Amino acid sequence: MSQKGKAPPSPELVGRFKKYGPSVRAALSTMALSTNVVSPMEPRPEEIIREGWLLKKRRRKMQGFAKRYFRLYSSGLLSYAYHPDLSPRDQIDLSSAVISNKSHRLDIHIDSDNSLFHIHCESSAQFDQWMSDFRRFVHVRDSTLHRSSIRSPIVRTDLKPSALVKEMDSNIHELREQVSIIRSEEAKLKSPSFLKIIREKEQIKDMLSSKEKDSIFSMFRKNSHSDLNSETNTNTTKSTTPSTSDKSHTHSRLDNIGTILQLLSEQCEQLAQMVAELEAPKTKSSFLSHNRSFSASQSISDGSVVWFDAPDSFGEGGEELVLDHEGDTSSLKSDNSIEIDDSSDEAHVEELIQVSQATSVQPSPVAERPTHVFTRRTALPARMLYDEGSLFSMLKKNVGKDLSAISFPVTFNEPLSLLQRLAEDMEYNHLLDEAVANTNPIDRMCLVAAFAVSGYACTKLRSGRKSFTPMMGETFEDVRSNFIAEKVSHNPLIMACHAHGEGWEYWATSSGRTKFWGKSLEIAPSGTTHLKIGKDHYEWQRPSTFVRNLMMGTKYLEHCGQLIITNTTTNARSILEFKETGYWGSSPNVVTGAVLSPSGNVDAKLEGTWHEQLTQVLDDAHFKLLWRAHPFQKDATEYYGFTSYAITLNEVTPDIADKIAPTDSRLRPDIRALEEGKIDWADTEKIRIEEAQRERRRNNGIPDARWFKQVGEDYVYSGGYWEERESGWKSTARLW
C-alpha cells in the first residue's frame, strides 16, 4: 500500500526490482532508504576535493609555521592533521567562514566563529589551486554595496604592472571555472535520464517503506507513521522541485561572475593609469606620485592589502573579501610606510612619516630626521662594461704578497669600498630589534645567530671582483642603522665600524690575511665582532672565505668553518658550522648549528643556508623561521651581483647630500666613475688618489684614526662623529 500523497510504483519498475536476487535487492533497499536525493550542485560530503601538505601557523605565539596535512571535503569542511594517517586536529566549515588572502605573500587566512587558520603556500601554483577550491563554498563580497556597514579594503596602486596582470589572470581563470560549472549543472538538470533516476529512487523508497510497515519489525521503528509521512513529503518536495534550488544557485553564481567582471574592469583602469605614468617624462622634482606608499627603510612595503573584520550581522554563509579601491583610507596607513596624499600643496610631509618598530632605523641622538621623502634607486647608473681580469695571472706575479698591498687595475674592482662592504652586514638589523624585544635567552641567541649569518647573503653572486681599498682616514656612514666605519690602520689593513639602535650596540674590527692555494684563494678574516643587548654581551669571529676555480671553470665563493657566538655575560654559546660544498655537492652553502646553555646542554638546533634562510628546528616535522634573505633582482649579475641594499650604499640621497663627511666613500671619484661606467677615468683617478696618499705619508707620516681608538686588539668608537656632523665639517683632511 502506497503512502499518502505518493504515486504507486509502475508495474514495470516492480517487475525490474523482482528480477534481482536477494542480495541485490537488499543492497538496493539499503541505498534507497539511507540515501537522500541531492542536487547535483550538492556533492557528497565524504568526497575529498583536495588534500596535501601546507604550512600552518602554530597556535602559540613566536612558534612560527609547521607542516600540516589538509583535507578539503565536498561538504565545505576543511580539516588538518599532523599526518595523513592520524585523526584531524581541527576543522572549519567554509560555508560559515571568512577567507582573506595576500597573493603576493602566498598567505591565506580563514576565520570562523570557533577557529582561525593562518596558512602559507609554498608556491604560486599551490596557492591558486587551493584558493580556487575554497571559492566554491564562499560568496564573493561586493564591498561597494555595503559601505555603510563595513570598511572596504584598499587596492594598493603602487603595485607593479606585472603584479596587476597576475591578479587579473587569476580572476579570469576563476571566471572560466564559474562558467564551466554553470554549463555542466544546467546540462545535468535538463537531462531526461537525471529526472528519471530521481523518480525511480522515490518509487523504490515508497515500495520498500510500505512492505516494511506490514512486517513484524515495524514495531521497532522509532518514527511514527505521521513522522514518516512528513519526512517523505519533505524529501518529495525537494526532489520533485530541483529547478527552484538550482535556479537560486545559478543566480548566485551569475552574481559572482558579475562581481568578478567588475573587479577586472577596475584593474584594467589601474593598469592603464600605471602604464601612462611610466611612459610620462620624469623630472627631478617628481619624487611623489598619487596615492603611493613608500617604506621607511625600503621602497616596497610588506603588504598590499589591509583587511578589516566584518560585523557578525553581515550576510550569511562563507565570504571572500573583494578588493575595492574607493574605500575609506583615513585609518589605513601602514605602520612601516609613508602615506602621501597629493590633494594638498603642502611642501612638507614629514608629519605623515610613521616608522615601524620592525623595520625602522633609530636615529642618532644628534642626527636629524629626514625632512622630505625620496625613493632609493634600484639600479646602478651603468651596467658592467668589462669582465674582470684574470685573477690567477695577477696572483702568479705576486706570490707570497699581501693582496691588500697590491694595486690592481680598476677592472678587478666593484664600485664599493671595503668600508661600504662592512655596512652590508647591517642590512638585516631588524633582527637585532627583535632580539631586544625577546627576553628569552635561547630565542635571543637564535636571533643573534641569524643576524650573524645574514651578513653573508650579499656575497652569493660576488666572486670575481674585490672592493676598493680605502684610504687612511676614509670614512663611511649610513644613517639607516647609525653606522660609521673608518680605516684605522694602513699596514696591516684594519678597519673598524660602529652602529647602534634602540636597545642594542654593535661594533667590529675587521682585518684579514690572504692565502693562495693554486686553484683557490682563501681570505682568513681576523678581528672580533661585538654586540651588546642590555646586559648580554655577544662576541664572535668570522669563518674563512674561499674563491674557487681560479684557473678554470666558473668561479664561485663559499664560506667554510665555524662561527662561535659567545655570550660573555652568561657563557652561553651558539656554534654554527659553515659546511664546504665540494664540486659535486647537491646542497650548497649549508649552515648547521646549535645553541648551548652555560652548562653545555643543547637548548636549540639551527639549520639553513647562508644565502637564503636560517631556521630553528623545533622537532622532526616543525621549524621556526628566523631569517630569510631578500631576493636578488633578475639582472643582478649585470650590476656586479649587488643586492638591492648594496645598490643604495654609494647613492648620495637628498637627506645626506650636505651632511656627509668630505672623507666619505661616496665622494671618491674613482668609485663614482666606475659606477657610471667610465673605466678609463676611474683608472686614472684611482692612480691619482693612491699616489696622493703616498705623498701624504712621506711628508707627514701615517695619521692616527680619528673616530676610533685601540683597546687591546680591538678598536672601539671614541665618539664625536655625529656631533661634528651636526656642527659642520671644519677640520677634516682632504683625501681626493
Q: pLDDT class for 500, splitting at 50, 70, 90?
A: very high
The 10 Å Cβ neighbour count of residue 582 is 10
pLDDT of 604 strictly over 80: yes
pLDDT, residue 700, reads 82
For the whole prediction, is pTM greater than 0.85?
no
Average pLDDT over residues 411-428: 95
Do the domain assignments include residue 614?
yes
Antiparallel, parallel or unpaired: β 602-609 and 714-717: unpaired
Average pLDDT over residues 281-290: 37
Average pLDDT over residues 453-480: 93
pLDDT of 55 strictly over 60: yes
Which tops the pLDDT comparison, 329 or 574? 574
Which tops the pLDDT comparison, 514 or 214? 514
pLDDT, residue 543, reads 95
Do the domain assignments include residue 180?
no
pLDDT of 169 strictly over 90: no
pLDDT, residue 115, reads 85
> What span, in angstroms and rounded, lies between the C-alpha atoms of 38 and 238?
8
> What span, in angstroms and rounded, lies between the C-alpha atoms of 652 and 647?
11
Decide if 405 contacts 513 (C-beta within 8 A). Answer: no
> What span, in angstroms and rounded, lies between the C-alpha atoms of 575 and 566?
9
Do the domain assignments include residue 181?
no
Average pLDDT over residues 591-600: 96
Which of 99, 114, 136 is the last residue before a domain boundary?
136
Q: pLDDT class for 731, splitting at 50, 70, 90?
A: confident
> What span, in angstroms and rounded, lies between the C-alpha atoms of 628 and 607?
12
Q: pLDDT class for 250, splitting at 50, 70, 90?
A: low
The CATH number for 672's domain is 2.40.160.120
pLDDT of 442 strictly over 90: yes
Which of 106, 136, 166 is the last residue before a domain boundary?
136
Rank 6-10, 36-40, 166-170 by mean pLDDT and report only the highest: 166-170
pLDDT, residue 212, reads 53
pLDDT, residue 378, reads 92
> What span, in angstroms and rounded, lies between the C-alpha atoms of 531 and 536?
8
Q: pLDDT class for 263, splitting at 50, 70, 90?
A: confident
Decide if 82 contacts 284 (C-beta within 8 A). Answer: no
Q: pLDDT class for 606, splitting at 50, 70, 90?
A: very high
Non-local (6+) Cβ contacts of 335 within 8 A are 354, 355, 356, 357
pLDDT, residue 202, reads 74
Boundaries of domain holding 518: 391-727
Measured CA distances, 207 to 10, 203, 465 (Å): 10, 6, 88
pLDDT of 669-722, one tens digit each? 999 999 999 999 999 999 999 999 999 888 887 788 999 999 999 999 999 999
Cell of 1: 500500500
pLDDT, residue 189, reads 65
> What span, in angstroms and rounded, lies between the C-alpha atoms of 470 and 467?
9
> What span, in angstroms and rounded, lies between the C-alpha atoms of 650 and 665?
8
Antiparallel, parallel or unpaired: β 107-111 and 466-468: unpaired
3-state secondary structure 179-227: HHHHHHHHHHHHCHHHHHHHHHHHHHHHHHHHHHHHCHHHHHCCCCHHH
> What span, in angstroms and rounded, lies between the C-alpha atoms of 513 and 168?
55
What share of the chain in percent tops pLDDT 90?
A: 40
Which tops the pLDDT comparison, 185 or 16? 185
> What span, in angstroms and rounded, lies between the C-alpha atoms of 688 and 683?
9
pLDDT of 368 strictly over 90: no
pLDDT, residue 241, reads 45
pLDDT of 124 strictly over 70: yes
Non-local (6+) Cβ contacts of 128 within 8 A are 170, 173
3-state secondary structure 515-569: EECCCCEEEEEECCEEEEECCEEEEECCCEEEEECCCCCCCEEEEEEEEEEEECC
16-25, 404-413, 490-499, 590-599: the lowest-pLDDT one: 16-25
428-442, 484-498, 545-559: the lowest-pLDDT one: 545-559
Distance of CA 683 to the CA centre of its chain: 41
Q: What is the largest CA-CA distance in the chain?
A: 124
The CATH number for 111's domain is 2.30.29.30
Q: pLDDT class for 520, splitting at 50, 70, 90?
A: confident
Do the domain assignments include residue 523?
yes
pLDDT, residue 235, reads 47
Do the domain assignments include residue 500?
yes
Do the domain assignments include residue 472?
yes
pLDDT of 645 strictly over 60: yes
Mean pLDDT in the chain?
75
Beta bridge mates, 90: 80
Q: pLDDT class for 240, splitting at 50, 70, 90?
A: very low
Average pLDDT over residues 507-527: 88
pLDDT, residue 346, reads 38
pLDDT, residue 204, reads 74
Decide if 139 contacts 252 (C-beta within 8 A). Answer: yes
pLDDT of 446 strictly over 90: yes
Do the domain assignments include residue 262?
no
Decide if 638 contacts 651 (C-beta within 8 A). Answer: no
Decide if 637 contacts 628 (C-beta within 8 A). Answer: no
pLDDT of 589 strictly over 80: yes
CA-wise closest residue to 307 among 161, 118, 95, 136: 118
25-39, 73-87, 282-296, 703-717: the lowest-pLDDT one: 282-296
Which tops the pLDDT comparison, 451 or 149? 451
Distance of CA 362 to the CA centre of its chain: 24
Non-local (6+) Cβ contacts of 452 within 8 A are 529, 540, 563, 565, 576
74-83, 259-268, 334-343: the lowest-pLDDT one: 334-343
pLDDT, residue 12, reads 54
pLDDT, residue 228, reads 42
pLDDT of 488 strictly over 90: yes
Name the amino acid, one letter, at 540. Answer: W
CA-wise closest residue to 506 among 436, 578, 579, 406: 436
Average pLDDT over residues 84-90: 89
What φ, ψ does residue 326 adopt, rounded to 5°?
-105, 15
Beta bridge mates, 557: 547
Measured CA distances, 411 to 596, 650, 668, 675 (Å): 46, 18, 16, 11
Beta bridge mates, 252: none
pLDDT of 265 strictly over 80: no
pLDDT of 148 strictly over 90: no
> What span, in angstroms and rounded, lies between the C-alpha atoms of 471 and 689?
8
pLDDT of 613 strictly over 50: yes
Cell of 165: 596582470
pLDDT of 237 strictly over 80: no
Do the domain assignments include residue 57?
yes
Q: pLDDT class for 98, splitting at 50, 70, 90?
A: confident
Gap between the terminal Cα atoms of the chain? 111
pLDDT of 63 strictly over 70: no
> What span, in angstroms and rounded, lies between the C-alpha atoms of 569 and 84?
46
Which of 136, 155, 185 is the last residue before a domain boundary?
136
- Considering its fold, how many domains does the chain have in total? 2
Average pLDDT over residues 305-319: 44
pLDDT of 320 strictly over 70: no
Decide if 97 contacts 108 (C-beta within 8 A). Answer: no
pLDDT of 486 strictly over 60: yes
1-10, 584-593, 676-685: the lowest-pLDDT one: 1-10
Antiparallel, parallel or unpaired: β 318-320 and 98-102: parallel
Rank 82-91, 140-149, 248-257, 501-510 by mean pLDDT and report only the highest: 501-510
| Dihedral in degrees, nearest 10, Cα atoms 641, 463, 646, 541 | 150
Rank 76-90, 330-344, 397-411 by mean pLDDT and report only the highest: 76-90
